[in-house]
Amino acid sequence: MSSPEPIESNAPARISELKLFLFALSTAAVVANGYYIHPLITPVAEEFGVSGATIGLAPALNQIALALGILLLLPLGDRINNRALVTIFVAGQFLAVLAMALSGSFITFVAASSLLGFVTIAPYLLPAYVTRRVGPGRIGHVTGIMASGVTLGILGSRVGGGLLGHYFGWRSAYWVGVASMVLLVILLPLIMERKRDEKPSDAVPPRYSELLRSLWPIMKSLPEVPLGGLIQALSFGLFLALWLAIGLHLPRTGYGVDTVGYLAIIAIINVLGSPYAGRFADHIGAERSRVYFSLAQLAGACLLPFAGHNLWLLVIAIIFNTIGGASVDICSRTILFSRAPEIRTRLMTIYIVIMFIGGGISSWLGAAVYEYAGWSGISIMAICYALTIMGLSLWGMRFRQANA
């Protein structure tokens, strides 16, 4: 398997901290576009005159399209120059978000939202691009910084989208997204390397069909990659199910919807901790670190049965779940990026597709469990998920020994 952007054998780090910061902020802006709908779902439904169940198609189809786009488009990163791909996909996001901001009908809005999901590839191309340009001892550190951008985008969009929608109308959030994408179309080509630094001209990159067919053999030859994807599917699913339950539960216990936004602000504390989680993984090993962080996630889940009517205890549970879950993701990605650098975007494809399948299933399951069994049900579900994550993380230690 070949790649147009191989890692240099003895390369010192070529990515400065400033560029890492800019790449993380870029990731946050790109990710946020797909999550503005969450705090704005009610005013959007009211404007288009559709029910809550119908408007739910917008985020659902966005996530399905995102998984499909990752499966079909992300492997191109092992064939085509990443700088060109990132620019193309960010430009595609600009068109999709613009269509959402201008949409005059629900069908147009949903179609644009689905297109937005399909072309949201940059957040998963950029980490592979960055980790090719640092030494092995910094992979965990830079992975943590890039992961903090994803967290900032997901949680920040809920806070920012809600505030913008409250004061300026729901379309204002998407106009901010349009402006952000214009800025990124200009910025990213400037900070990404212009040189293609490809293999010699006689090296033929794999065909697109070969890239897709290679995914299954890669999964069999590197089982720690799908294992990491499964762990993250459960962790991401726990995150989505918990926040969905919080959004349903707090209004029923006397709190306003603004309280959910304030809790999201608290959860952004993870943005500050992610780089340290990556350094910890670099220091003691990503597999071992993942076990420790899964224990923190389990501790947070165990607090949930007692936090249904205690907001301060819920804050502590959220902090443990957010830091533990995000750090588990960082450790899994660090393991992924330390394997076969010439096929990193295909490894990321496997990991992210499994993650979003789990997230989609758990989103539906979390809503169903809460409606059927209330806060107690969602707490039991969270504990079961966290126990499984920890068990799989312990199982993953065997790959550390095998690759030592």
Q: Are residues 252 and 161 in the same domain?
A: no
Last residue of a domain, one of 195, 229, 261: 195
Q: Are residues 272 and 190 in the same domain?
A: no
Reading the block at residue 102, the tokens are 């201008």
**Is 209 within the bounds of a domain?**
no
CA distances to 14, 152, 221, 308, 335 from 332, rounded to whole Å, are 23, 19, 17, 31, 5
Number of folded domains that form the chain: 2
Predicted local confidence at residue 404, as pLDDT: 44
CATH assignment at residue 52: 1.20.1250.20
**Is 96 within the bounds of a domain?**
yes
Predicted local confidence at residue 4, as pLDDT: 45
Q: Are residues 283 and 325 in the same domain?
A: yes
Q: Are residues 146 and 225 in the same domain?
A: no
Q: Are residues 174 and 242 in the same domain?
A: no
**Is 8 within the bounds of a domain?**
no
| Residue 338 and residue 286 in contact, taking contact as beta carbons nearer than 8 Å | yes
**Is 3 within the bounds of a domain?**
no
Q: Are residues 162 and 292 in the same domain?
A: no
Q: Are residues 275 and 171 in the same domain?
A: no
Predicted local confidence at residue 278, as pLDDT: 66
**Is 204 within the bounds of a domain?**
no
Domain that holds residue 380: 214-404
**Is 317 within the bounds of a domain?**
yes
Last residue of a domain, one of 152, 167, 195: 195
Q: Are residues 271 and 133 in the same domain?
A: no
Q: Are residues 118 and 239 in the same domain?
A: no
Predicted local confidence at residue 12, as pLDDT: 42
Predicted local confidence at residue 256, as pLDDT: 59
Last residue of a domain, one of 133, 165, 195: 195
Assessment of whether the complete model's pTM goes beyond 0.95: no
**Is 4 within the bounds of a domain?**
no
pLDDT in tens, the chain (404 residues): 444 444 444 444 467 778 888 888 999 999 999 888 877 777 888 888 887 557 667 877 887 888 888 888 888 877 777 888 889 999 999 999 999 999 999 999 999 999 999 999 888 888 878 877 777 677 777 777 887 788 788 878 877 887 788 788 889 999 999 999 999 999 999 888 765 444 444 456 677 777 788 888 888 888 888 999 999 999 988 987 887 777 667 767 777 556 666 676 776 666 666 667 767 777 788 888 999 999 999 999 999 999 888 888 998 998 888 888 888 988 888 888 777 767 777 888 889 888 888 877 787 777 678 778 889 999 999 999 999 999 999 998 887 644 44
Q: Are residues 252 and 330 in the same domain?
A: yes
**Is 350 within the bounds of a domain?**
yes
Q: Are residues 63 and 167 in the same domain?
A: yes
Q: Are residues 32 and 143 in the same domain?
A: yes
